[in-house]
Amino acid sequence: MTTLYILLGSGIAISLLVALNVWLGGWTPSRIGSLEVAIARLQDDHLVFTPGEGLLARDSLSALVLDTQSPRIGVVAARGAGFVTRLVPRDGFKSVEARDDGSLSLTFRGDTMRPVTVDTGDAQTAHDWAARIEALET
Amino acid sequence: MDIELVDPIMIAIPVFVILVIAELIYARTTGKASFEPKDSAASLVMGLGNTVSGVVLGFIAAAWFLLIARFGVLNIGYVWWAWILCFVADDFIYYWSHRWAHTVRWFWADHVVHHSSQHYNLTTALRQPWFSVFTLKFMWLGSILILIGFPPGMVAFVGGLNLIYQFWIHTEAIGKMPRWFEAVMNTPSHHRVHHATNPRYLDRNYAGVFIVWDKMFGTFEEERADEACRYGIVRNLGTYNPLVISLHEWWGIAKDVAGSKSPKDALGYIFAPPGWSPDGSRLTSKKIKALWAERQAAGADDTGANNAEEPAPVPAE
């Protein structure tokens, strides 16, 4: 019973600390300021990355950049106050779906990366990038 | 004869909570530290889970330590100098244990949890694994001091003190400590380097309490004013799910072993450094550092200067 009380108390203490964090703030949700920022981030995280053509989402929450040295696409996603990047080959994408509202939905295979929705701005761009991903050599 | 000792970590927990609140307020008022609610929640839940699993592991460890205590070479009692010696020796063992936690994937699968936050604040100190029992590290590392002859209670107590010391160094709120302190002790500055993924900083500063071990064994790196630390892991998770945080690397090992073409490859996936692969297509820390150094050298050749070798340390406070 004592253990249960300790666990309950710990759970309440954690909730209060997180609530305090929410109330105080002290962090800024990340946004990708420009395509150059996305490229810099990819180059920092993946030394073997050579940037080609890229796309910055309209909401600045994600970006896609082609790697000119290998059949992979650099994906940058804003997550909380930071960024998560991946260099993804064709078989690293579990699904690629271009929608008519201009969004491009990406899910990843065998990875801790959560799904990314890229707001490309128009249906044609979304379909073009989906085709690029589908066309990556395996 | 053994004596009853309290668990210092249990006593320290209220102090940890007060310091986290103080750092939260400091972050809000100065902007010199950052907290993100989801990240903080994940770290704190990981810390709670670690404490729970520690209770289970504690029983196994205690039973093991008591079993091997009878084989101690010496019979060192609770004399004053033994405490000091035990604390220093424990920190020396911690250094090597920590170094292997970064260079052997089996141990990294456990320790990666602690490095998985992209933030660096006091809650990060509490982000600890749930499944340390898989590594059985305590069975052989914790045993060394007991086999020498230190009392098991003393070994457990100084181990707790070591972990308590490491709590306060997980912060961006403190720049540099006085020069003499930075020279001998592990500090927030030294440990920021340890948590950074910049190639220059990767796999450096393994110390627990005394930074001298890193200086002795060639793994020390100074924090530089011209290169801010990027925290996290080489392949950041992008999730706050505690179960994924806990298990992702174990799952990665399982998948790699299942897909390996030979027993040798399978063993490599388990015991070689993180990032190892039979065909060399993945990058280990060593490879990342070598690649980066190559580029730095090429860049230096282009500009006629080699900034990589000229440290610009953060000024002491």
pLDDT tens digits for B50-100? Answer: 988 888 777 888 888 888 999 989 999 899 999 999 999 999 999 999 999
Handedness of CA B141, B156, B170, B84 (dihedral sign): negative
More confident residue, B55 or B16: B16
B250 pLDDT exceeds 90?
Answer: yes
More confident residue, B196 or B3: B196
B312 pLDDT exceeds 70?
Answer: no
Instruction: Give backbone dihedrals phi and psi of A106, rounded to 5 degrees, phi first.
Output: -125, 135
Q: Which residue of B has its CA nearest to A15?
A: B41
B303 pLDDT exceeds 60?
Answer: no
B264 pLDDT exceeds 60?
Answer: yes
pLDDT tens digits for B126-135? Answer: 999 999 888 8
Alpha carbon of B24: minimum distance to chain A alpha carbons (Å): 7
- pLDDT at res. B308: 38
Amino acid at site B93: I
- pLDDT at res. A41: 93
Residues of A in contact with B122 (CB under 8 A): none
Mean pLDDT of chain B: 89
Query: Using 50, 70 and 90 to split pLDDT, how confident is the model at B307?
Result: very low
Q: Which residue of A has its CA nearest to B231?
A: A82
More confident residue, B198 or A25: B198
- Residue with token string 């045993």: B143
- Give the mean pLDDT of B21-30: 91
Residues of A in contact with B237 (CB under 8 A): 84, 112
In angstroms, the CA A31 to CA A56 distance is 11
B266 pLDDT exceeds 70?
Answer: yes
Mean pLDDT of chain A: 91
Alpha carbon of B147: minimum distance to chain A alpha carbons (Å): 33
Quick one: residue B224, left, alpha or beta (phi over 0 = left, psi -120 to 50 = alpha)? beta
In angstroms, the CA B259 to CA B31 distance is 47
- pLDDT at res. B32: 83
B195 pLDDT exceeds 90?
Answer: yes
In angstroms, the CA A69 to CA B285 distance is 21
- pLDDT at res. B37: 93
A36 pLDDT exceeds 70?
Answer: yes
Alpha carbon of A8: minimum distance to chain B alpha carbons (Å): 11
Q: What's the residue count for chain B?
A: 317
B306 pLDDT exceeds 70?
Answer: no
- Give the mean pLDDT of B287-315: 65
- Give the mean pLDDT of B299-303: 63
B316 pLDDT exceeds 60?
Answer: no
Rg of chain A (C-alpha set): 19
Q: What's the residue count for chain A?
A: 138
Note whether B17 contacts A13, CB cutoff 8 Å: yes
A41: closest CA among A59, A68, A63, A70? A63
In angstroms, the CA B91 to CA B207 distance is 8
Residues of A in contact with B239 (CB under 8 A): 112, 114
B314 pLDDT exceeds 50?
Answer: no
Cβ atoms of A78 and A61 closer than 8 Å: yes
CB-based contact (8 Å) between B31 and chain A?
yes
Residues of B in contact with A45 (CB under 8 A): 197, 234, 236
Cβ atoms of B227 and A66 closer than 8 Å: no
Alpha carbon of A82: minimum distance to chain B alpha carbons (Å): 7
Residue B218, Cβ density class (10 Å: 0-12 exposed, 13-18 middle, ≥19 buried): exposed
**Euclidean distance between the first and final Cα of chain B, in Å?**
47
Query: Using 50, 70 and 90 to split pLDDT, how confident is the model at B2?
Result: low
- Give the mean pLDDT of A62-89: 93
Cβ atoms of B238 and B255 closer than 8 Å: no
CB-based contact (8 Å) between B14 and chain A?
no
Cβ atoms of B161 and B112 closer than 8 Å: no
Of A17, A79, A110, the CB nearest to B20: A17
Note whether A82 contacts B24, CB cutoff 8 Å: no
- pLDDT at res. B94: 95
- pLDDT at res. B310: 39
Helices (H), chain B: 8-30, 37-69, 80-103, 105-115, 122-126, 137-148, 152-167, 179-184, 188-195, 212-217, 242-258, 263-271, 285-303
Quick one: residue A26, left, alpha or beta (phi over 0 = left, psi -120 to 50 = alpha)? left
Counting one residue from chain A and one from chain B, the pairs whose CB atoms sit within 8 A come to 92
Of A7, A21, A84, the CB nearest to B236: A84
Question: Which residues touch B82 (CB under 8 Å, ≥6 apart)?
Answer: B76, B150, B154
pLDDT tens digits for A79-89? Answer: 988 899 999 99
In angstroms, the CA B285 to CA B118 distance is 18
List the single best residue of A79, A83, A113 to mutate versus B (max B Cβ within 10 A). A79
Alpha carbon of A31: minimum distance to chain B alpha carbons (Å): 15
Of B31, B41, B238, the CB nearest to A77: B238
Note whether A47 contacts B37, CB cutoff 8 Å: no
Cβ atoms of B102 and B197 closer than 8 Å: no
Instruction: Give backbone dihedrals phi and psi of A88, rounded to 5 degrees, phi first.
Output: -110, 125
B108 pLDDT exceeds 60?
Answer: yes
pLDDT tens digits for A38-58? Answer: 999 999 898 888 999 999 999
Residues of A in contact with B31 (CB under 8 A): 26
Cβ atoms of B118 and B39 closer than 8 Å: yes
Note whether A112 contacts B237, CB cutoff 8 Å: yes
Q: What is the ipTM of this complex?
A: 0.87
Q: Which residue of B has its CA nearest to A4?
A: B52
Cβ atoms of B238 and A30 closer than 8 Å: no
- pLDDT at res. B313: 43
- Give the mean pLDDT of B187-215: 97
- pLDDT at res. B127: 96
In angstroms, the CA B198 to CA A99 distance is 37
Residues of A in contact with B35 (CB under 8 A): 21, 24, 26-27
Query: Using 50, 70 and 90 to split pLDDT, how confident is the model at B300?
Result: low
Query: Using 50, 70 and 90 to split pLDDT, how confident is the model at B3?
Result: low
Note whether B236 contacts A85, CB cutoff 8 Å: yes
Of B28, B197, B292, the CB nearest to A26: B28
- Give the mean pLDDT of A97-105: 94
Query: Using 50, 70 and 90 to split pLDDT, how confident is the model at B34?
Result: confident
CB-based contact (8 Å) between B89 and chain A?
no
Alpha carbon of B5: minimum distance to chain A alpha carbons (Å): 20
